[in-house]
Structure 1
Amino acid sequence: MPLETLDRSPPPFFKQGPSALSQLVFFSALALFLMVADARFQIVQPLRAVIATVLYPAQWLALQPVQMVQTGLGYLTDLKTARVTEEAARVKLAEQSQRAGQVEQLLLENERLRQLLGLRERLQVASVAAQVLYDATDPYSRRVVIGKGQLQGIEPGSPVMDESGVLGQVTRVYPFVSEITLLIDREQVIPVMNTRTGTRAVAYGDPSPRGGMMELRYMAVTEDVKEGDLLATSGVDGVYPPGLPVARVVSVDRRSDTSFTRIQCAPLASCRA
């Protein structure tokens, strides 16, 4: 048989379709089209909803052991925390009960001493709530302006407090607003007492223009002053009622070349003008 008469084409079973590169380009373009169409028109969202609905029971069953373990661990942790909190509450309640008994006893003794000495009762100071509006215009002072004035009964020289302690003193009063000089102002002075030792002293404002501290001056190096001591008003000036929290000692520098101690204090009130 001549060779020219042979059919060289492959059998139908082995016939090749489009090339691999053509298939890659086609399916890549199709995938890209479906991604863009789904992102813009949400065409696959119904299919996702059906698949999520069908798989939800399996997911729920798979998560149950994990949730049970987490619930058990959370219960044990909460139980331990509750026991610790209960024990701390019992201790605190016992301390408060003891302090309450001591306070009642001290009040009774104080009342007896006042009766024996013929002293009058402590004056009840009227108070007015006010809001800080803005800082004063003087850049070399530490003053703020509040939204209460003469019409609301504010008087010059009145002490000013916030929720933490003494803030300053009213220095100027107008019909609708008042100006307060903060304790950290370099011109401000307040008599204080160390609540731990009972030592009386005088606290001055920070001499630096934008400082935020106070200083106890003229304290001898032998005075018992420690970091963390609480300073309260002594009441000797007749302006601030006694016992109001003022500041806390943050640093004590006893120098050998001087007979006075450099003591820095941080005000308890928010003196940030």
Structure 2
Amino acid sequence: MVTPLGTLDRTPPPFFRQGPSALTKLMFFSALAVFLMVADTRLKITQPLRTVVATVLNPVERILRVPIDAWNGAGDYAMGLQHALSSEAQARAKLAQQAERSSRVEQLQAENKRLRDLLTLRPALVVKSLPAEVLYEASDPYSRKVIIDRGMAQGVALASPVINEAGVLGQVTRVYPLSSEVTLLTDKEAAIPVLNVRTQARAAAYGTATGLELRFQAGNADVLPGDILQTSGVDGVYPPGIAVAKVMTVDRKVDTGFARVTLAPSAPPDGVRHVLVLEPVGLQLPPKPEPVPEESAKAGKTRKAVKK
């Protein structure tokens, strides 16, 4: 049977049917994306949807992270356990060393007391201390001073030494009712008498912009890098034996005959929070004997004779 040509269906089958062109689709979806971005930025229309999605997916995320967190936790636990065991071993070794040093110190203190009793020397001074906290640095940019929260009401005296666990920090230069001003050793106006532990030679350390230095040292002075300097205790302010500084460089200048010795403070002043305020040693020393009137008269006659 032959079908007439006019009755044939000339439409393409569904497989070959085509909608809008690719360029039209690209332009439409690009415009839609731009519109959604602008609308989201201006009107926040997707914020509630994001909130709902995040809330719903949060338990799922937590469940999926359980294996990862467990693996990381196991690794951290193993590392922490190893670090704790290592720290415990180091702490035990330090404790043993400190116990040995403590026994030697007690023995030396007992021996020192026996020797002082034998020589009828005055007992060693007991230095009183007062804990304090650094409030803030002084506002003067050309000085190195800090303010502490202890003053006359707590018994702080003028010229009291201020130290921490590392060594000397400075000295109280002003006392207020509830606070005090401490001039640090690195201040340009600061000075402290020191004793070289290696040579037992006395000197004076002065503050500089970069730290400390020993002044008026002869070019052939026995000072070497690495020497430890402590308070000498001869000034009546600082107790003896407190760490002050360490010698860093020694520049022996031939043309002047002096040596420039730079020091690094044992107690860096930056970042200090808690300190100890010591009682000046001079407050515990016996008063100076007053001159006898006869001796004063003889001394006056001698001076007159010398003038004549």
TM-score normalized by the length of structure 1: 0.71
| Counterpart AA for 1:18 | P
Change (3 A) 1:255 1:52: closer
Listed as ranges, the gaps of 5+ residues in structure 1 are none
Change (3 A) 1:114 1:83: same
Change (3 A) 1:55 1:104: closer
2:132 equivalent to 1:135: no
Q: Which among 117, 135, 157 is matched to residue 155 of structure 1? A: 157
Change (3 A) 1:31 1:172: closer
Q: Secondary structure at the match of 1:42?
A: helix
Partners of 2:167 and 2:244 within 8 A in 1: yes
2:26 equivalent to 1:39: no
Change (3 A) 1:70 1:141: closer
Alpha-carbon separation, structure 2, partners of 1:222 and 1:105 = 38
Deviation digits for residues 72-119 of structure 1 (CA, Å, limit 9, x no counterpart): 655654554455434433432332232222212211211111111212
Report how far residue 150 of structure 1 moved. Answer: 4.0
Q: Which among 110, 113, 123 is matched to residue 111 of structure 1? A: 113
Change (3 A) 1:136 1:127: farther
Deviation digits for residues 35-81 of structure 1 (CA, Å, limit 9, x no counterpart): 748733307945993x7878987x47xx74x6676566556545544
Matched residue, 1:99: 101
Alpha-carbon separation, structure 2, partners of 1:160 and 1:93 = 28
Alpha-carbon separation, structure 2, partners of 1:229 and 1:195 = 7
| Counterpart AA for 2:238 | Y
TM-score normalized by the length of structure 2: 0.65
Report how far residue 153 of structure 1 moved. Answer: 3.3
Partners of 2:213 and 2:262 within 8 A in 1: yes
Alpha-carbon separation, structure 1, partners of 2:188 and 2:169 = 14
Q: Which among 200, 217, 225 is matched to residue 198 of structure 1? A: 200
Identity %: 47
The equivalences for 1:68-87 within 5 A come to 73-74=75-76, 77-78=79-80, 80-87=82-89
Listed as ranges, the gaps of 5+ residues in structure 2 are 271-308
Alpha-carbon separation, structure 2, partners of 1:131 and 1:93 = 30
CA RMSD of aligned residues (A): 4.1
Q: Which among 222, 246, 254 is matched to residue 248 of structure 1? A: 246
The equivalences for 1:1-273 within 5 A come to 5=6, 9-13=10-14, 14-28=16-30, 36=40, 39-42=46-49, 45=52, 49=56, 59=64, 64=67, 73-74=75-76, 77-78=79-80, 80-128=82-130, 129=132, 131-135=134-138, 142-146=144-148, 148-175=150-177, 178-206=180-208, 211-271=209-269
Deviation digits for residues 11-55 of structure 1 (CA, Å, limit 9, x no counterpart): 343433333333334445566677748733307945993x78789
Report how far residue 183 of structure 1 moved. Answer: 2.6
| Counterpart AA for 1:118 | T
Q: Secondary structure at the match of 2:158?
A: coil
Alpha-carbon separation, structure 1, partners of 2:244 and 2:70 = 53
Higher relative contact order, chain-length normalized (CA < 8 Å, sep 6+)? 2
Q: Secondary structure at the match of 2:249?
A: strand
Change (3 A) 1:82 1:133: closer
| Counterpart AA for 1:10 | T
Report how far residue 232 of structure 1 moved. Answer: 1.5
Matched residue, 2:294: none
Q: Secondary structure at the match of 2:122?
A: coil
Partners of 1:212 and 1:271 within 8 A in 2: no
Report how far residue 262 of structure 1 moved. Answer: 1.3
